[in-house]
Chains A and B, each alone.
Chain A
Amino acid sequence: GQNIDQPTEMTATEGAIVQINCTYQTSGFNGLFWYQQHAGEAPTFLSYNVLDGLEEKGRFSSFLSRSKGYSYLLLKELQMKDSASYLCAVREEDDKIIFGKGTRLHILP
């Protein structure tokens, strides 16, 4: 069956680094997305991985291991505005995109 797991909540300090993990078991795999969602707003796209390895984009990086069914999102130099939910999503082989329950990240000053 389909399953995407990520921690429910995490807390980190402004200026620090945080890693949000995601594991998945899905029907086929055509890539993994990370989205950011502020409370009351629509999700916005952060990153896409389809090959193993690390993709870096400014303060945010995303890693994928297909053999392990594992990804993480790494956020560096945390800012207060990074307080949000982070959603892991997988595109399955039939193009359907399914989401995990999201990780709420709290940033402390």
Chain B
Amino acid sequence: GAGVSQSPRYKVAKRGQDVALRCDPISGHVSLFWYQQALGQGPEFLTYFQNEAQLDKSGLPSDRFFAERPEGSVSTLKIQRTQQEDSAVYLCASSPTLGNYNSPLHFGNGTRLTVT
């Protein structure tokens, strides 16, 4: 079956450019998470959604980062005026029903962003 799909797989942006990263979760999955992973580090929480509601965005590094999930399915992470420190792998993960605490996250393959 289809897993979590992220696009693009790789993105090279010039400093100051805006980028948009897309995540297609597993169909029917209620929860959707975004993480930022630097080389050799664990995934750092950015934000998460339950359906279309963004429940926590405390991990977004600055107001240049914005995430949305308008119809409770596909999500987009937008980074405005990219900086070199934004270079990382951006991972999206989804999870099925609410309150089912043993439901693991299913990860996409990530988008590797390089800002030059």
A residues with CB within 8 A of B: 30-31, 33, 41-45, 48, 50, 85, 87, 89, 91, 94-102, 104
Evaluate whether A91 and B42 lie within 8 angstroms (CB atoms) in the complex, with A42-B91, A43-B107 already known: no
The chain B residue with its CB closest to the CB of A29 is B101
The chain A residue with its CB closest to the CB of B99 is A95
Q: Which residues of chain B have C-beta atoms less than 8 A from A101's C-beta?
A: 41-42
Which of B35, B42, B55, B102 has the most A CB atoms < 10 Å from its CB? B42
Per the bound structure, the CA–CA distance linking A97 and B34 in Å amounts to 10
Per the bound structure, the CA–CA distance linking A75 and B51 in Å amounts to 36
B105 beta carbon closer than 8 Å to chain A? yes
Q: Which residues of chain B have C-beta atoms less than 8 A from A102's C-beta?
A: 41-42
Interface residues on B, range: 20 to 34
User: What are the 5 tightest A-B residue pairs by CB atom distance, in nearest-first order?
Assistant: A45-B104, A42-B107, A102-B42, A99-B42, A101-B42
- Mark out the residues of chain B between 13 and 55 whose CB falls within 8 Å of any chain A CB in the assembled complex: 31, 33, 35, 40-45, 48, 50, 55
Q: Which residues of chain B have C-beta atoms less than 8 A from A48's C-beta?
A: 102, 104
B109 beta carbon closer than 8 Å to chain A? yes
The chain A residue with its CB closest to the CB of B4 is A42
Per the bound structure, the CA–CA distance linking A97 and B59 in Å amounts to 12
B96 beta carbon closer than 8 Å to chain A? no
CB within 8 A of A41: which of B43, B55, B56, B109? B109
The chain A residue with its CB closest to the CB of B107 is A42
Q: Which residues of chain A have C-beta atoms less than 8 A from B41's C-beta?
A: 101-102
Interface pairs (28), CB distance under 8 Å: A30-B101, A31-B102, A33-B104, A33-B105, A41-B109, A42-B107, A42-B110, A43-B43, A43-B91, A44-B107, A45-B105, A48-B102, A48-B104, A50-B102, A87-B42, A89-B105, A95-B31, A95-B48, A95-B50, A95-B98, A96-B45, A96-B48, A97-B33, A99-B35, A99-B42, A99-B43, A101-B41, A102-B42
